[in-house]
Amino acid sequence: MLHWLRTRFSRVAPAAAPALPTPDRAVYVVGDLHGRADLLERILEHIDGDIGQAGVQNPHLVFVGDYVDRGPDSAAVLDRLHGLTQEFPDNVTCLMGNHDRMLLDFLADPVVRGPRWLRAGAHDTLRSFGLPAGVLPRSPGPETLIELAALLQSTLTVARQRWLSSLPLSWSSGNLWVVHAAADPQHPMEDQTPRTLLWGHPEFETRPRRDGIWVAHGHNPVKVPGFRDGRIATDTGAWQTGRLTACAIRPDGSHRFLQT
């Protein structure tokens, strides 16, 4: 009898993801900014209008990371977001993205980490801080990289650098999790590695989760924001397309995409 029960229940398929994410309160998940301070202000206006129109109480804004590189105003984006988190610590969360991580890695080890960051769009970030990125050689030597890191270090305020270094890799409410890039669908969210959360996972978009968790994310640009199969894609390549996307998610599972 016990053997039959064990056999029967061992064959029961794991539960599929629920039809809808159900955060504890209204959440606005904002996609990758990449130095577009102008679009940040516009999406904040859209969010403010949606909050007023829907009569939302105590909303939470979550930015998925990648605040620097590629766009022209990385320094202004960091200043604005840092200010928002200081003014509304219980209502605004900024996650770390892989480009933000590359900036910090460059400051810690400019010779080893610098070349990769420069290939990823660092020139635009450096220019936004008033540094001479335009005169850098194609392959800067160690001395140049060290000097550049020191200049950037002196330009970043201590408070802003500490804030950037302390950004979390995930945020959750109810069965909704927000990360920058992806999550390994075969592991609990609490057991995800920093590399997966920041850089992605090969099975994230093809293998469904079986624990009822929905994952909102950025990192991989899409033409149309997505909301299906336990995943919410918010990166619409704002730095290049001019379309910055936010997903408004209500406690009842309903959602609405806002876009600049």
Beta partners for residue 215, in sequence order = 177, 231
- pLDDT value at 7 more than 90: no
What are the tokens at 141?
Answer: 């030597």
CA-closest candidate to residue 195, choices 182, 204, 186, 207: 182
Determine what percent of the chain is predicted with pLDDT higher than 70: 93
pLDDT number for residue 10: 38
The pTM score is: 0.91
- Answer yes or no: is 5 within a domain: no
H-run or E-run covering 210:
none
Q: Which residue has the higher pLDDT, 39 or 10?
A: 39
Give me the pLDDT at residue 5, please.
Answer: 32
Residue 136: exposure state from Cβ atoms within 10 A (0-12, 13-18, ≥19):
middle
Per-residue pLDDT tens over the stretch 61-92: 999 999 999 999 999 999 999 999 999 999 99
**pLDDT of 155-166, one tens digit each?**
998 989 999 999
Characterize the bridge pairing of strands 214-217 and 231-233. parallel
CATH number at residue 247: 3.60.21.10
pLDDT of residue 18: 57
- Whether residue 143 lies inside any domain: the answer is no
User: For 87-128, how does the pLDDT look when each residue is reduced to its tens digit (9 = 90+)?
Assistant: 999 999 999 999 999 999 999 999 999 999 999 999 999 999
In a domain, 132, yes or no: no
Domain contains 141? no
Domain count, the chain: 1
pLDDT band at 147 (very low <50, low <70, confident <90, very high): very high
Domain presence at residue 69: yes
Give domain status of residue 118, yes or no. no
Residue 13's pLDDT is 42
- Identify whether 198 is part of a domain: yes
- Residue numbers of the domain that contains 62: 18-101+160-259
Confidence (pLDDT) at 139: 80
The CA distance from 52 to 247, in Å, is: 16
Q: Give the Cα separation of 65 and 67 in Å (integer).
A: 6
Per-residue confidence (pLDDT) for residue 132, from 0 to 100: 83
Look at residue 155 and tell me if it is in a domain.
no
